Amino acid sequence: MRDDPHLARIDAYVEQLFVPADPALDANLRRAEAAGLPSIQVSPVEGKLIGLLVRLSGARRALEIGTLGGYSTTWIARALVPGGVVVTLELDPHHAEVARHSIAAAVDGVTVDVRVGRADEALQAMAASGELPFDVVFIDADKPGYARYLELVLPLTRPGTLILADNVLRDGAVADEPPPDANAAGAHAFNRALAAHPRLEAVILPVIRDYVDGLALAIVTG
């Protein structure tokens, strides 16, 4: 993806106005960097946007696919009603351990359950066990798995559940035919599945960093 200084300037402008420094979130990023985690978390502006959407939904239960260092997890958890629950799925045990430390230092009044293992297996097991439906789902994991994750999370939702998914425009690469790489192809397949699904009403909101990406928003309608 290209680095566009003009887009970066716009992102910095919005961040400076609307996302003041947060010691716990800043510490989260430093801890993740020191632990060698990739710097692929949502931006501060997108974190704020996700938090606002979760708060607007009045969510009590949230499901996240892809914990990484717990940065987006923290935004989600802080936006839930008091006594809420976040279940977040992470493949890498090292990432999960780093996330647990950061979340514990940043989140109060909400239970965050970090589960380690393959997300597809975890989602199937959750559905089979009769896990309560979630009010919000956030997908931010391996892009080739997105369409499959969408299929697997639907049994864990209810009418009115908000589904969010990050990195779905890939600086426009999803519009190429064929998409140029596996990540763009995965996002492309997810976008088509989201748009065509009879139980979902959805749209993609472009997100500016130093390139253009996108956040998918969908409501479960039935």
- Chunked into runs of 10 residues, the chain (222 residues) has average pLDDT values of 88 96 96 96 97 98 98 98 97 97 95 98 98 98 98 98 98 94 97 98 95 96 93
The span from the CA of 96 to the CA of 67, in Å, is: 7
pLDDT of residue 2: 72
Instruction: Kindly list the distances between the CA atom of residue 190 and the CA atoms of 40, 94, 169, 185, in Å, as whole numbers in the listed order.
Output: 19, 28, 11, 9
Total-model pTM: 0.96
DSSP codes joined into one string, 85-124: EEEEEES-HHHHHHHHHHHHHH--SSEEEEEES-HHHHHH
pLDDT of residue 36: 97
pLDDT of residue 52: 98
Domain that holds residue 46: 5-220
Burial of 113 (0-12, 13-18, 19+ CB in 10 A): exposed
Beta strands in 149-211 (DSSP E): 162-166, 200-208
Domains identified in the chain, total number: 1
Burial of 131 (0-12, 13-18, 19+ CB in 10 A): middle
CATH classification at residue 42: 3.40.50.150
pLDDT of residue 3: 83
The span from the CA of 187 to the CA of 165, in Å, is: 10
